[in-house]
């Protein structure tokens, strides 16, 4: 076990230690919360939420520490991108849950997904990368921030789509206790609308940033293109629901497809192909 | 003249052109406004863009060259090339699909504006049945009213038929505003693509680009010619700054420009800090590196002069790569260089150029390592590095309407906020004892409003009849 002075001289070691602490909180929180919801154990559910909140607090400190050490926000390199995305998902969900306890069911998907994001990040290179000259813009902060918020809202919506499908296809006793599929379906619709909106804001901020840095508001860069496709697909989803009466399991499957597309846009394309965005996910 | 029987056209009388034209227009309009048409056009856009992601696209602009390193050559895939599938986003048919989308959006706008107008300004234009929404079995409108007020719904009286309670009434404008934003974005983007001009200068310190000289790379819209630079520009110096780890921190250049022979204005241009000069927008390119002037001596004694521009590596200690061909040399030459530890482009001490002769991924037939002012043998060819100088690029563009595109984005966001953050809600309470109709526009945010459809409907039901335990019926 390294001594405290050695740790203090190594910002990365503190960062990783705090991240593992947060992950421990997330694992415990996810398990207790899921147990509490599935087996109707209020105490376990409350414990799960408490652990998740504590984990998010430690995780927040880890991100602030890294921000201080690197001199830039947590949006460069896989480690930072995955970690900060997970933190935003947890925090936004906890806020939403606080405001509207009816959303607690979404924790069945949001908590494990967030834990998974941080855990994957921890297995990537945690070395601090420095900002390239094009990344010094306030629009970049808005661009990145709103994509994370969009991911968080879409993840909450995904939870309800997953539950809609599960409730339709399974006869598990605990699924029967959930609200009707119509109710679950409505939540995914509403969060899809919010995700669509935040995704649009993120694209707007990105296009202003691109115009400032490269002289183009749109360059058909692979990541831009995938992002646009995701946005249009969610637009299509909203259209199908509103004008074609899509709902229930059919809409939930489409939501799932759109969500997969959004994950590919945010985390996959940067790995698959060269792009002017590549610096953020290498 | 009107014929007594509209189904029969009298001999010698031609059908009335304006009415058949109007009929055709209305048919086209109906077709474009059909939900299935809109859906198909959206799908066509998604599919086209998806194909452009799958098939490597050709590009001419240096900032995107790195992305196109896997591009396909027209000779290899002539069918793809002839269909424009290797440059989809610049093909007329892609512009056509975008145009179709624009038409659909434009034609749907008046109807959306009319609906929003009717719901917000001209109350009572639509019947309760025509508005859709959820229907609650009514017992007594009087019992509902206190509950509605408690939920923040204000009342508008609509004639003698019903009372209308609303919240966020103006949010009905969210839909037309969002679609207007999309119209602005697509229309202005098409305009920008047709009229935009862009040129790239690649300069070495001390080099002057004169008015009318050719660009290193350029692109322009279909309705305009290449960009003309109405003056001279000289790169005085190039100043990169590095992080301690060797990554690029800042890149700036000192430029001298003038529109007349004796005028000289000096500016410093930074990456991400564009300037407006001579009425054009100037950007510092994000790329820079070293240019190598080489003399290749062929086995027969002929000399070939060539310039090889290699990009600066991602960080010091790594290599910058490039491939090039020289007339008379049988194979392509693969090159990489290490800029040395000094990092400054002006300092070439420690700089090493590695050359390899070989075809594709095949075996290397010869290689050599050279420094500035050094020569060596690359197989049967003698290669000499005559000079090494840094280079960078300056991007100059003229584009109209960019602010409008951002305004369009703003409209989309504003419309989205109205629809999904403060969604309009209304409840129609018929005075004749019919069903009460509640109507919610868009989606609602994850606050107390989220539960509104459930708890609100339930509380309305409770207000109607506390013992009633029926679910709302969807219409």
pLDDT mean over B140-144: 58
Q: What's the pLDDT band for B431 if we cut at 50, 70, 90?
A: low
List, as ranges, residues 103-132 from B with C-beta within 8 Å of A: none
Whether residue A36 has pLDDT greater than 90: yes
Distance CA B436, CA B465 (A): 13
Q: What's the pLDDT band for B359 if we cut at 50, 70, 90?
A: low
Question: What pLDDT score does A247 carry?
Answer: 87
Question: What pLDDT score does A174 carry?
Answer: 85
Given a contact cutoff of 8 angstroms between Cβ atoms, the answer to whether B147 and B138 are in contact is no
Question: Percentage of chain A with pLDDT > 70?
Answer: 95
Partner-chain residue, chosen from B46, B405, B444, that has the shortest CB–CB distance to A217: B405
Question: What pLDDT score does B68 carry?
Answer: 41
Asked if B443 lies within 8 A of A192 by C-beta distance, the reply is yes
Question: What pLDDT score does A135 carry?
Answer: 85
Asked if B453 lies within 8 A of A215 by C-beta distance, the reply is no
- The Cα-based distances of A110 to A38, A91, A93 in angstroms read 15, 10, 8
Distance CA B461, CA B474 (A): 15
Task: Please tell me which of B41-45, B55-59, B82-86, B409-413 the model is most confident about, judged by mean pLDDT.
Answer: B409-413
pLDDT mean over A260-277: 85
Task: Show residues of chain B in contact with A187, CB under 8 Å.
Answer: 450
pLDDT mean over A60-66: 95
Kindly give the interhelix angle for B92-120 and B35-54, rounded to the nearest 10 degrees: 140
> pLDDT digit string (tens) for B264-313?
789 999 998 999 999 899 999 988 899 999 999 998 888 999 999 999 88
To the nearest whole angstrom, how far is the Cα of A279 from the nearest Cα of chain B? 10
The strand order across the sheet containing B473-474 reads: B154-158, B162-167, B425-430, B436-440, B134-136, B473-474
Q: For testing the chain A interface, which of B67, B177, B218 should be mutated: the one with the most A CBs within 10 Å?
A: B67
Q: What's the pLDDT band for B443 if we cut at 50, 70, 90?
A: very low
Distance CA B276, CA A147 (A): 31
Residue of B nearest to A93 (CA): B446
Question: What pLDDT score does B49 carry?
Answer: 85
Whether residue A194 has pLDDT greater than 50: yes
- The Cα-based distances of B139 to B132, B142, B434 in angstroms read 20, 9, 8
Asked if B63 lies within 8 A of A276 by C-beta distance, the reply is yes
Question: What pLDDT score does A3 carry?
Answer: 56
Asked if B271 lies within 8 A of A220 by C-beta distance, the reply is no
To the nearest whole angstrom, how far is the Cα of A205 from the nearest Cα of chain B? 9
Asked if A190 lies within 8 A of B446 by C-beta distance, the reply is yes
Distance CA B405, CA B417 (A): 18
Whether residue B67 has pLDDT greater than 70: no
> pLDDT digit string (tens) for B337-352?
988 765 566 677 778 8
Asked if B52 lies within 8 A of A103 by C-beta distance, the reply is no
Cβ of B255: how many Cβ atoms within 10 Å? 22
Partner-chain residue, chosen from A193, A208, A275, that has the shortest CB–CB distance to B443: A193
Burial of A50 (0-12, 13-18, 19+ CB in 10 A): middle
Question: What pLDDT score does B221 carry?
Answer: 85
Q: What's the pLDDT band for B449 if we cut at 50, 70, 90?
A: very low
Tell me whether A204 touches chain B (CB under 8 Å): yes
pLDDT mean over A101-106: 87
> pLDDT digit string (tens) for A207-255?
999 998 888 888 888 888 899 999 999 999 998 888 888 888 999 999 9
> pLDDT digit string (tens) for B170-215?
888 999 999 999 999 999 988 888 898 999 999 999 999 988 888 9
List, as ranges, residues 228-267 from A with C-beta within 8 Å of B: 228-229, 232-233, 235-236, 239-240, 243-244
Q: What's the pLDDT band for B414 if we cut at 50, 70, 90?
A: very high
Considering only residues A183 and A165, tell me which one the structure prediction assigns the higher pLDDT.
A165
List, as ranges, residues 106-135 from A with C-beta within 8 Å of B: 129-134
Considering only residues A25 and A179, tell me which one the structure prediction assigns the higher pLDDT.
A25
pLDDT mean over B47-74: 63
| Residue in this structure with the two tokens 């296809």, named with its chain if needed | A169
Question: What pLDDT score does A221 carry?
Answer: 83
Q: What's the pLDDT band for B64 if we cut at 50, 70, 90?
A: very low
Distance CA B145, CA B431 (A): 12
Which uninterrupted H or E stretch holds A109? helix A107-122
Q: How many residue pairs bridge chain A and chain B with CB atoms within 8 Å of each other? A: 152
To the nearest whole angstrom, how far is the Cα of A200 from the nearest Cα of chain B? 7
Question: What pLDDT score does B168 carry?
Answer: 84
Task: Show residues of chain A in contact with B53, CB under 8 Å.
Answer: 222, 225-226, 229
Rg (chain B; Cα; Å)? 34
Considering only residues A97 and B20, tell me which one the structure prediction assigns the higher pLDDT.
A97
Which uninterrupted H or E stretch holds B212? none
Whether residue B445 has pLDDT greater than 80: no
Mean pLDDT across chain A: 89
Question: Percentage of chain A with pLDDT > 90?
Answer: 59
> pLDDT digit string (tens) for B253-264?
999 998 776 667
Quote ipTM for the complex: 0.85
Which uninterrupted H or E stretch holds B163? strand B162-167
- The Cα-based distances of B211 to B201, B231, B258, B261, B345 in angstroms read 12, 5, 10, 11, 27
> pLDDT digit string (tens) for A148-168?
999 999 999 999 999 999 998
Partner-chain residue, chosen from A190, A197, A221, that has the shortest CB–CB distance to B417: A197
List, as ranges, residues 14-53 from A with C-beta within 8 Å of B: none
Question: What pLDDT score does B217 carry?
Answer: 87
Whether residue B85 has pLDDT greater than 60: yes
Reduced to 3 states, what is the DSSP secondary structure of residue B127? coil
Tell me whether A5 touches chain B (CB under 8 Å): no
Long-range contacts of B217-224 (CB under 8 A, 24+ apart): B217/B60, B217/B61, B217/B62, B218/B60, B219/B60, B219/B61, B220/B196, B221/B192, B221/B193, B221/B194, B221/B195, B221/B196, B221/B197, B222/B194, B223/B194, B223/B195, B224/B194, B224/B195, B224/B196, B224/B197
To the nearest whole angstrom, how far is the Cα of B5 from the nearest Cα of chain A? 40
Q: How many Cα atoms within 13 Å fall on the side-chain side of residue A116? A: 7
* pTM of the complete model: 0.83
Question: What pLDDT score does A66 carry?
Answer: 93
Task: Show residues of chain A in contact with B57, CB under 8 Å.
Answer: 220
Asked if A197 lies within 8 A of B416 by C-beta distance, the reply is yes
Which residues contact residue B272 at a Cβ distance below 8 angstroms, ignoring those fewer than 6 apart?
Answer: A133, A134, A136, A137, A212, A213, B284
Whether residue A20 has pLDDT greater than 90: yes
Asked if A200 lies within 8 A of B272 by C-beta distance, the reply is no
Which uninterrupted H or E stretch holds B192? helix B174-195
Whether residue A1 has pLDDT greater than 60: no
Asked if B447 lies within 8 A of A99 by C-beta distance, the reply is yes
Question: What pLDDT score does A93 carry?
Answer: 95
Task: Show residues of chain B in contact with A134, CB under 8 Å.
Answer: 271-272, 286
Asked if B445 lies within 8 A of A190 by C-beta distance, the reply is yes
Question: What pLDDT score does B103 carry?
Answer: 92
Asked if B272 lies within 8 A of A219 by C-beta distance, the reply is no
Q: What's the pLDDT band for B69 if we cut at 50, 70, 90?
A: very low
Distance of CA B67 to the CA centre of its chain: 16
Task: Show residues of chain B in contact with A274, CB under 8 Å.
Answer: 66-67, 69
pLDDT mean over B374-391: 90
Please provide the size of chain A in residues: 282
Asked if A190 lies within 8 A of B444 by C-beta distance, the reply is yes
């Amino acid at each position: 076990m390294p001594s405290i002075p050695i740790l203090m001289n190594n910002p990365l070691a503190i960062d990783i230690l705090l991240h593992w602490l947060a992950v421990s909180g997330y694992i415990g929180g996810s398990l207790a919360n899921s147990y509490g919801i599935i087996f109707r154990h209020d105490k376990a559910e409350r414990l799960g939420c408490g652990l998740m909140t504590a984990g998010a607090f430690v995780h927040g400190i880890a991100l602030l520490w890294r921000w201080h050490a690197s001199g830039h926000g947590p949006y460069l390199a896989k480690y930072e991108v995955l970690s900060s995305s997970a933190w935003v998902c947890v925090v936004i969900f906890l806020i939403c849950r606080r405001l509207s306890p009816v959303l607690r069911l979404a924790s069945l998907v949001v908590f494990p997904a967030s834990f998974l994001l941080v855990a994957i990040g921890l297995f990537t290179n945690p070395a601090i990368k420095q900002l390239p000259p094009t990344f010094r813009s306030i629009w970049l902060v808005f661009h990145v921030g709103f994509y994370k918020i969009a991911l968080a809202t879409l993840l909450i919506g995904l939870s309800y789509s997953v539950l809609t499908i599960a409730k339709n296809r399974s006869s598990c006793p605990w699924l029967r206790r959930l609200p009707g599929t119509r109710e679950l379906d409505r939540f995914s619709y509403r969060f899809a609308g919010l995700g669509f909106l935040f995704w649009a804001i993120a694209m707007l901020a990105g296009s202003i940033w691109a115009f400032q840095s490269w002289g183009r508001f749109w360059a058909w860069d692979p990541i831009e293109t995938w992002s646009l496709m995701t946005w249009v697909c969610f637009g299509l989803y909203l259209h199908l629901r509103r004008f074609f009466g899509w709902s229930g399991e059919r809409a939930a499957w489409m939501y799932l497809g759109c969500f997969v597309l959004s994950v590919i846009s945010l985390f996959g394309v940067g790995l698959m192909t060269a792009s002017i965005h590549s610096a953020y996910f290498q | 003249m009107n014929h007594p029987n509209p189904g029969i056209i009298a001999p010698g009388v031609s059908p009335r052109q304006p009415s058949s034209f109007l009929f055709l227009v209305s048919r086209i309009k109906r077709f474009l406004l059909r939900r299935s048409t809109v859906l198909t056009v959206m799908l066509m856009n998604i599919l086209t863009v998806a194909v452009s992601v799958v098939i490597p696209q050709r590009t001419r602009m240096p900032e995107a060259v790195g992305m196109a390193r896997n591009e396909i050559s027209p000779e290899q895939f002539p069918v793809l090339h002839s269909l424009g599938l290797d440059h989809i986003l610049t093909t007329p048919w892609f512009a056509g699909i975008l145009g179709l989308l624009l038409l659909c959006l434009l034609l749907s706008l008046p109807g959306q504006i009319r609906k929003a107008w009717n719901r917000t300004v001209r109350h009572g234009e639509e019947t309760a049945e025509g508005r859709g929404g959820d229907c609650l079995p009514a017992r007594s409108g009087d019992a509902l009213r206190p509950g509605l007020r408690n939920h923040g719904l204000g009342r508008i009286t609509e004639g003698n038929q019903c009372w209308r309670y609303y919240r966020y009434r103006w949010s009905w404008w969210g839909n037309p505003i969002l679609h207007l934003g999309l119209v602005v974005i697509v229309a202005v983007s098409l305009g920008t693509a047709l009229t935009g001009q862009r040129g790239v200068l690649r300069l070495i310190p001390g080099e002057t680009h004169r008015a009318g000289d050719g660009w290193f790379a350029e692109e322009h819209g279909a309705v305009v010619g290449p960009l003309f630079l109405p003056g001279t520009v000289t790169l005085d110096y190039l100043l990169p700054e590095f992080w301690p780890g060797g990554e690029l921190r800042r890149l700036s250049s000192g430029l001298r420009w003038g529109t007349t022979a004796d005028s000289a204005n000096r500016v410093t241009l930074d990456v991400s800090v564009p300037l407006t000069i001579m009425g054009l927008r100037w950007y510092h390119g994000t790329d820079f590196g070293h240019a190598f002037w080489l003399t290749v001596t062929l086995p027969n004694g002929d000399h070939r002069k060539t310039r090889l521009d290699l990009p600066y590596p991602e960080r010091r200690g790594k290599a910058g790569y490039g491939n090039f061909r020289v007339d008379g040399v049988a194979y392509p030459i693969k090159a990489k260089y290490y800029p040395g530890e000094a990092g400054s482009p002006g300092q070439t001490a420690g700089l090493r150029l590695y050359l390899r002769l070989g075809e594709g991924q095949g075996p290397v037939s010869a290689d050599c390592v050279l420094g500035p002012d050094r020569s060596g043998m690359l197989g049967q060819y003698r290669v000499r590095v005559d000079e090494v100088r840094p280079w960078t690029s300056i991007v100059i563009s003229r584009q109209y309407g960019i602010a409008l595109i951002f305004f369009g984005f703003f409209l989309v966001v504003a419309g989205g906020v109205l629809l999904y953050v403060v969604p309009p809600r209304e409840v129609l309470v018929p005075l004749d004892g019919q069903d009460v109709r509640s109507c919610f526009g868009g989606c609602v945010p994850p606050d107390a409003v989220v539960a509104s459809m459930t708890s609100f409907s339930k509380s309305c039901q409770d207000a109607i009849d506390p013992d009633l335990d029926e679910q709302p019926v969807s219409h």
